[in-house]
Structure 1
Amino acid sequence: MISLEWNEDMCVGIDEIDADHKKILIIIAAIIDAIDINANAETIEKHFSELAACTASHFKHEEALMKTMGFEDFIEHQKGHQGFLVQLPELKNKLLNSNNAEAAGEVSQFLYDWVIEHILIADMDYVHAFYSEEKYSVSFKAIFQRSSEWLSQRVNISTRVLITALLPILGMLLLSFIAIKDNYQQYKNMLLLDNLTQIVQQVNSLTHNLQVERGLLSSYISSDYQRFSKALTSQQHKSNDEIYAFTTLLNSRKALLTEPMLIEFINSTKIDITELIIFRNGLNSTSISSEKILTGYNLIIGKLLSRVNRLSHIKMDAEFANNITAINAIVGLKEILGQQRELGTQLIDDDLSTHELIHSERYKQLYMQLGMQLNAIFIFNYSATPEQQQTCGKLCNVAKQKAFINKTIEDLMLKPGKEQNSQFWFITLTNRIDDIEIVTDKIINDLDTKTQLKLERLESRFYLVIIIISTIVVLNTLFSTILYHSVITPIRRITHALKQVTLGRYNQQMNESASKDEIGALYGAYETLRRKLLQADMSKNIIKRQQQSLLDRRKERDRYRELASRDTLTGALNRRKFNLILKQEINFAKQDKQKLSLLLLDIDHFKRINDTYGHAGGDQALRDFYDICSNSVKSSDIVARIGGEEFAILMPETDKAQAHVIAERLRHNIQALQIPYGQETIRLTASIGLAQWHEYDSFNVDEFISHTDKALYQAKRDGRNCVVEAST
């Protein structure tokens, strides 16, 4: 037995639609129950009328809702509604006009399948679309939810998980790029400082040798080319070596450096070196005055130092720029002392009186250079680090430097014994210059050492950062890959298993997941669903077997009922079944205003046939008589044996005139019938009474038969083998 009961799980969430579904379900359940208990036609008619009215109203509600929401499949849904309404009368007629159990089972199954499909599938589709309409507020939570839904609709879960896994890797790569870029920038600055340090160191060495050469040359000329010849020649060779070394350094660095200001410095300095070489080659002429020689050397050395000073303007770290400025300041101090040495030597060699010396232009220049020295010391102390200041010591002390120069001028220029003062002056300032050169070399070497150490640390840090970042990226990639597969693989497995379940395959078990997270819960839910469906499938098979058994029993019962309603000899309906059908047809005639006619037939002199041919001959005659009756009337007419040799034929939708024509044809066919029996032939005739049912007569079954029976008796009185109509 198919059973239907309303379950709250069938709710779609719209009260009006749910109420309609409940009514439809109750009505269809009543129809199925009525079919199972073999209810009468009046009950079936009533239930189908209720179902038609309820479904029509429900379809109107649904279609109105679909229109308001602009449902895409509205036309197709509407066609489905109309198709079902057209099918209802056909189902009813099939149920009422078919007396077999198979047709009843088909109608029950169709209604059951339709109501389940309509509620759980068709209506769920448009209701889901109804709830999917955009009804968002402007709160942060709503915006967040809306964004999440937008992302889930446009990006599949595998891509979302992949993005989630890749984001940390991309973040690490970005941070790594920033760290490497910062490290590279520091390395580039240190490399620039290293190159600047080498250039400054080479410039310092070159200018120092030029300063010594300038001093020796000045002394050489002042002594009428008598003294300093050997020392000058040796110094010139040293200067040549320094010029070559500096030129080589500039050429090697030009191809490696990209800083525009540094490249410009190299190009300009190479021009200065060329001028220096030309100038020094011209010193062999004895016609050049010492003044011009000093001016030439001062100009060349000044250019070199000026260009080195501008290197501090290169865009670099402030600490590096201060180091270059400090070195340039102390190198400048050394150059000013060298110029002061040459100027003082000339001033002493001029052999002036004290008054003339004090008021001479060179003496004023001597003190101007003292001011320049003090300014260079101030710049050094401002730019130098405490370590560099400590290295320089008293040489970079403003007060002590000022006192040293004043005392040297006073001792070697303003006291008697001037014939010795020139040499002493030169030696004293040369020693001072040498001391500053030693300090300068130490500061430059210390800076170069620190630069190299920092370069090595930066290189080591770079490789360490690369190793750490590579390790993190590899581990992160590995972890992200594992994470990706730990989410996507179970989902794909469950998706595959669910597809198998939809195909009726329940052998895909999910017992291997022991995790207690959402994936584990999903596995558990699937396994529970699989088992429930397996149980439901098994129950369904049991129910099917029960239904088949019930159908078989029903068919068996209907077969027995059919046998019980049939005459065992002729196969015609018996009197009890005929009375039931007659009652049903009278009700139809009342309701639909249809015409209904009845024939009663009696075989004439049947006792004589039995006496002549025996009961076997009589039985054969009865069988053939039924056959000729069945073949002579319409297929919708009902033939029954209601007595020994008495038969009845019920003719729905047939009036008296039509019935009379059929009755005469039947009488003629019976009279012409020849029944072979052994060596003989049995012939029959029949008396026929005819009556038409009229609503105003209000005949019941018995009264209608009695009324027709009177016509039959009149036919017998009229000589038999004739048709007599009942009087109205």
Structure 2
Amino acid sequence: MAELVWDEGMSVGIDSLDNDHKQLIAILAQLMSAKNEKLGPEGIDEIFERLEGYCQSHFAREEALLAKINYQQFDAHKQSHQAFIKRIPQLKEQWFAKGTESEVVKDKVILFLQQWLIKHILEEDLDYVPAIHCFEEFSRYKKDKKSKHPLLRLFSVKLSQSLILSHRVLITTLIPVAATLLLCFFILKDNYQRYDNISKVLGLNSVIEQVNGITHSLQAERGLSTGYTSSNYRSFAEQLSKRRKNTDAKIQYFLGLLDKSANQEVKIGVNRYMVNFQKIVENLSRHRMHLDQKIVGFEDTYYVYTELIEQLLSVSDHLVHIEIGSSHANDISAINAVLRYKEFMGQIRAIGMKIDENHQDSIYDNVDVSLLVGKQLNILRIFESSANAGQKLICGSYCNAISQRQHLESSYLETMQFNDKDVRAARWFNVMSEKIDILNTVVEKLISEFDEQIYNESQQLKTEGYLIILAMLVFLLAAIFFALVLNYSIISPVRKLTFALNDMSEGQNNIHFESIDSKDEIGSMQLAFEKLRRKLLQGDVYKATVSQQQKEIKYRKSQQDHFQQLAITDALTGAVNRHHFNEVLDQEISNVNNYGNPLSIMLLDIDYFKQVNDTYGHGVGDEVLVLFYQTCVEAVRSSDVVARIGGEEFVIVMPNTTLDNAEKFAERLRQKIAKLEINVADKQISITVSIGVSQWKNDYFTNAETFVAHADKSLYQAKNSGRNKVVATQQ
């Protein structure tokens, strides 16, 4: 067995620990020398005590150092120390154990201690050395104030302990990418919010368009109904019937459109102000029936239509409170203002159908008309404050308060020139309807222009959203590609270097880098690896020379061991020969006398073996002997010894075995041998054995010869009583 020698490659870089390791190697060398020199038990016991004591002091120094740096694996390291301390007394017991293979056991003890020390130094201790160096370096920097960024270094160490290099590279690359993507996300979210608002505006604009159509039809129906009542139900009948159908169709279309509306917020906003709309529509139907039956008059007719129109216009007015943005809300307010202005004009038309009966000089002499004109002026102010330049241009003179006031007065005076009441009513209705139709055209233009503006804006926002998403995807793919390239450029050479180092640790020194292209730290690491590889190759050449010399020595030693083995074993069967059997039996008898354990032996003789030799030849006889020995060896225990002491005579030494147990075992062995079948020239032959068993007694036997002679007598009895038997004789 080779002696463990200190090498500088075992150094952990800490003098106190290196000195401890050197001392432990020296103690193991002393133990090996004691084994070779056959040192007595007292000397061996002293070496084991020195080993145990020095290990305890060494472990104490290590644990104090690890506790100081707050080492993460401290508990596992401490448990490993305690387990080895408990193992030392067990190793000492194995060393002093009696037996035929005591030298082998001692070699195993020394080999275990050497392997443990190598593992302790090169694996366990070197695992925590970097942490110690880092701690000492940081402490020195902190003390001398030479480090400009101690916290940065500390955090980098923590990060290195938590994440592997590839993850750190990816994180370093992806953090700015994530920040950029987050910014793009907020931009996209803002774009989506604006697009959602535009979608709401589109929904609101369609609602306003429907409200305008219904209110315009209701305004015309209100004027016709008022004229119908004022002319004693003789005029406007045909026009009123057509207008009612048109109004009903628009109302039903509007209600159906609300049910199909995709924008829930618009739908909820409309329904909130249309709670009583269905009831008012039903009331309108009843009023029409009463009007046809000539039950109601002008006031009731005017009130019912005005209430329904007001309900519809309130829906349009309150839509601006939905979150759609101030600029769009102002545009919708301007459209609603013109709708209100047109409604007030429609009310003036309805009232004018009645006031011509009073022959007033001016339409403004009527209080209701004056109030409506005042409301118109207020609505026009609202329009001026909320409308944009395009809306004002579309509205033009039709939204001018002075010109509209003059036109209203002139229209009234022109109408009053006619003497016939029905003619005046028809003339007033037509003039005002023409004015209201023009305003309706203005409203439709405003709605159309606003709808086109909103649609274009929604398309622009949709395009912007797609462009943002596309830019995000392109940027993300480019960033991922760059991160992968960067990661590969760093991790790939590091992994190659790691694999090369691992292969080198397994003895493969022929691996080298074909080219070193990088001029950075990785290139320096590869150059350092190549230097290390060449140094190791030089060492391997030296080791090969030494190894060859050791092989020659080992071969000579093996030859010597072989000859020694031949001196104690039977050349044919491999069993212990008679000479070595005598030594073994003397040793076992000595153990019995010292410790009092039972000892038995069995003498075995193959029955009619001479006939086998004579019939089949000595070659077959040799095969029978070998098979017989192998059967015995397979049956006995590891502590038993099988020896060949004659031609076909064998003996088995059985320590710690009483006569009864030996007899039972002999019977099992006899039966097993009787079942053996040996194939010879297409024939099967069988053999039997006679066995004599004896147990050592101090007061009966004087030496090994008398012990064997007693067993031989038992064997003789087995032979004489018919063979293939076991005889165990009590002393």
**Range class of TM-score, shorter chain:** 0.5 to 0.7
Q: For residue 382 of structure 1, what is the amino acid of its counterpart?
A: S
Counterpart Cα distance in 2 of 1:544 and 1:278: 121
For each residue in 1:638-667, what CA deviation from the matched residue of structure 2 results, as whole angstroms up to 9, or x when unmatched? Answer: xxxxxxxxxxxxxxxxxxxxxxxxxxxxxx
Q: 2:62 aligns to what?
A: 66
Q: 2:351 aligns to what?
A: 343
Matched ranges for 1:426-445 at <5 A: 426-445=429-448
Aligned pair partner of 2:213 in 183, 205, 220: 205
Q: 2:636 aligns to what?
A: none
Q: 2:394 aligns to what?
A: 391
Provide TM-score, normalisation by structure 2. 0.57
Q: 2:292 aligns to what?
A: 284
The structural deviation recorded for 1:222 is 2.7
User: Could you list the runs of 5+ residues in structure 1 that have no partner in the other structure?
Assistant: 32-50, 88-108, 553-728
Matched, 1:302 2:314: no
Matched, 1:256 2:299: no
For each residue in 1:155-200, what CA deviation from the matched residue of structure 2 results, as whole angstroms up to 9, or x when unmatched? Answer: 4444445555665665566555544443333332222211211121
Counterpart contact for 2:394–2:442, Cα < 8 Å: yes
Counterpart Cα distance in 1 of 2:112 and 2:538: 24
The structural deviation recorded for 1:316 is 2.0
CA separation of 1:531 and 1:284: change in aligned 2, threshold 3 A? farther
For each residue in 1:21-70, what CA deviation from the matched residue of structure 2 results, as whole angstroms up to 9, or x when unmatched? Answer: 89999x99xx9xxxxxxxxxxxxxxxxxxx99x99999787445324236
Counterpart Cα distance in 2 of 1:62 and 1:479: 51
Provide TM-score, normalisation by structure 1. 0.57
Q: 1:315 aligns to what?
A: 323
Q: 2:198 aligns to what?
A: 190
Q: 1:334 aligns to what?
A: 342
Matched ranges for 1:119-158 at <5 A: 124=126, 127-128=129-130, 130-131=132-133, 141-158=149-166
Matched ranges for 1:244-643 at <5 A: 244-257=249-262, 258-259=264-265, 260-265=268-273, 268-352=276-360, 363-402=366-405, 404-405=407-408, 411=413, 426-511=429-514, 514-542=517-545, 544=547
Q: 1:219 aligns to what?
A: 227
The structural deviation recorded for 1:321 is 1.8
Query: After the TM superposition, which of the residue ranges 111-120 and 490-499 deviates more from structure 2?
Result: 111-120
Counterpart Cα distance in 2 of 1:78 and 1:334: 100
Counterpart contact for 2:517–2:523, Cα < 8 Å: yes
User: Could you list the runs of 5+ residues in structure 2 that have no partner in the other structure?
Assistant: 31-46, 68-73, 92-110, 556-731
The structural deviation recorded for 1:130 is 4.0
CA separation of 1:316 and 1:122: change in aligned 2, threshold 3 A? closer
The structural deviation recorded for 1:132 is 6.1
For each residue in 1:447-484, what CA deviation from the matched residue of structure 2 results, as whole angstroms up to 9, or x when unmatched? Answer: 11112222333333344444433343344444444444
Q: For residue 530 of structure 1, what is the amino acid of its counterpart?
A: R
Counterpart Cα distance in 2 of 1:392 and 1:429: 18
Pairs aligned (count): 518
Counterpart Cα distance in 1 of 2:554 and 2:290: 135
For each residue in 1:178-228, what CA deviation from the matched residue of structure 2 results, as whole angstroms up to 9, or x when unmatched? Answer: 44443333332222211211121121122112212222332343333444x
For each residue in 1:71-113, what CA deviation from the matched residue of structure 2 results, as whole angstroms up to 9, or x when unmatched? Answer: 75457569989999xx9xxxxxxxxxxxxxxxxxxxxx99999
Counterpart contact for 1:305–1:332, Cα < 8 Å: yes
Q: For residue 430 of structure 1, what is the amino acid of its counterpart?
A: S
For each residue in 1:476-505, what CA deviation from the matched residue of structure 2 results, as whole angstroms up to 9, or x when unmatched? Answer: 444444444444444333332222111101
Counterpart Cα distance in 2 of 1:516 and 1:160: 22
CA separation of 1:509 and 1:350: change in aligned 2, threshold 3 A? same
Q: For residue 193 of structure 1, what is the amino acid of its counterpart?
A: V
CA separation of 1:274 and 1:83: change in aligned 2, threshold 3 A? closer
The structural deviation recorded for 1:347 is 1.8
Secondary structure at the residue paired with 1:316?
Answer: coil
CA separation of 1:461 and 1:282: change in aligned 2, threshold 3 A? farther
Matched ranges for 1:688-703 at <5 A: none
Larger radius of gyration: 1
CA separation of 1:186 and 1:347: change in aligned 2, threshold 3 A? same
Counterpart Cα distance in 2 of 1:427 and 1:452: 36
Counterpart Cα distance in 2 of 1:202 and 1:110: 97
Counterpart Cα distance in 2 of 1:255 and 1:74: 76
Q: For residue 270 of structure 2, what is the amino acid of its counterpart?
A: L
CA separation of 1:177 and 1:113: change in aligned 2, threshold 3 A? closer
The structural deviation recorded for 1:523 is 3.4
Counterpart contact for 2:17–2:58, Cα < 8 Å: yes
Q: Percent identity?
A: 30
Counterpart contact for 1:243–1:273, Cα < 8 Å: no
For each residue in 1:543-564, what CA deviation from the matched residue of structure 2 results, as whole angstroms up to 9, or x when unmatched? Answer: 5568899999xxxxxxxxxxxx
For each residue in 1:331-389, what CA deviation from the matched residue of structure 2 results, as whole angstroms up to 9, or x when unmatched? Answer: 000111111222233222223578xx88x7xx122211111101111111222112112
CA separation of 1:352 and 1:460: change in aligned 2, threshold 3 A? closer
Query: After the TM superposition, which of the residue ranges 207-216 and 454-463 deviates more from structure 2?
Result: 454-463
Matched, 1:243 2:248: yes
Counterpart contact for 1:17–1:58, Cα < 8 Å: no
Query: After the TM superposition, which of the residue ranges 474-483 and 311-320 deviates more from structure 2?
Result: 474-483
**Cα-Cα RMSD:** 5.4
Counterpart contact for 1:381–1:396, Cα < 8 Å: no
The structural deviation recorded for 1:444 is 0.5
Counterpart Cα distance in 1 of 2:328 and 2:461: 16
